[in-house]
Homo-oligomer: A and B are copies of this chain.
């Protein structure tokens, strides 16, 4: 049987309350007594039963999640994963609030962070936009002792506790490597389609893509980046023009969202099969395009994992517990038509 507080109390010859004070290092214990208790803890190999402690404290974990609104399929998937987690949150003593802000809107995001702060949560998870006012707002939260996890897109220099997302430089490198190898000796330039250079994840992917292309496929020309604002209609227009301008285009790397527009443009131009296309995020549209051959490979971040990881980390931080880095690393999924999971996740 595992030792309990009673065993320690007996071993150290003190009362339960004193043991508790030592365990939670609260003041009001002479150092002699404290030492005796600590020795007892060590010799008995005591480990606190967190479940029982939480029960006694009737502890709960108020968390705030800040997500971009809009029709971005990936973000909506993220939100639905979050709502699913909330539905089973009763058992986990979670109390989650969702705040919505327009995408790529730094002032709105900063305001939401202030709003979150007023609610005095144990932790905040936020899909970050990189801007000084956002960084400032996150810093303030951290100073208040609220743990902050950035989700999907990071915010370096803000002092956030953790980033729940993929290594986007590596993702860009991987895309570049795959595109280069898939194209083999084929001639023609490649294009990069981004959402906005305001978000860190898009910038990182671009950097990785460019690095690997110049290292390993130096002869391949990379056309200037197109920014589609993750907006399918705009993307369709821009890619349509791109295809007209470049009849010899060999490949496209779409590192942001708005894939619906990309797919439409490729198919309308009859170039779906001849242009090697690599895109991000598994959504109903991109899945169909992968199966039909319009998209050749898809890089994905598992929204469910990101949400669960963010929650686990926020909880651990709230309890002052360490996080298992390996478990919280969000991997880059690479999907070909051959390893697509059966169901949409």
* Interface: A50 (CB within 8 A): yes
Tell which of A66-74, A147-155, A172-180 binds the partner: A172-180
Distance, CA A302 to CA B324, complexed state (A): 15
In angstroms, Cα B337 to Cα A29, docked, is 55
Kindly report how many copies of this chain are found in the complex they form together: 2
User: Chain B residue with minimal CB distance to A171?
Assistant: B339
**Of A100-108, A112-120, A225-233, A325-333, which stretch is located at the interface?**
A325-333
> With A304-B326, A308-B327, A327-B308 in contact, is A339–B184 under 8 Å at CB?
no
Q: Are A326 and B339 in contact, CB atoms less than 8 angstroms apart?
A: no
- Chain A, interface size category, equals 35 or more
Q: Identify which of A6-14, A51-59, A248-256, A258-266 touches chain B.
A: A51-59
Interface of A is mostly: helix
Of chain B, the residue at the smallest CB distance from A170 is B339
Q: Scan A301-345; emit 1 where CB is below 8 A from any B CB, else 0.
A: 010100010000000000000000011010111101111010101
A2-B90, A47-B90, A50-B91 given; A177·B338 CB < 8 A: yes
Residues from chain B with Cβ under 8 Å of A171 in the complex? 339
Say yes or no: is A273 at the interface (Cβ < 8 Å to chain B): no
Task: Please state if B336 and A174 are interface contacts (CB–CB under 8 Å).
Answer: yes
Query: With the chains together, A91 CA to B208 CA distance in Å?
Result: 41
Q: How far is the CA of A332 from the CA of B335 in the complex (A)?
A: 9
Cβ–Cβ contact A174 & B2, under 8 A: no
Interface status of A181 (Cβ within 8 A of chain B):
yes
Interchain nearest-CB distance for A44 vs B (Å): 13
In the complex, chain B residues whose CB is within 8 Å of the CB of A343: 326
Query: Besides A176-B338, A185-B185, A332-B339, 18 other CB < 8 A contacts?
Result: A49-B91, A50-B91, A51-B52, A170-B338, A170-B339, A177-B337, A177-B338, A178-B336, A181-B181, A182-B182, A184-B185, A208-B338, A212-B338, A304-B326, A308-B327, A326-B343, A326-B345, A331-B333
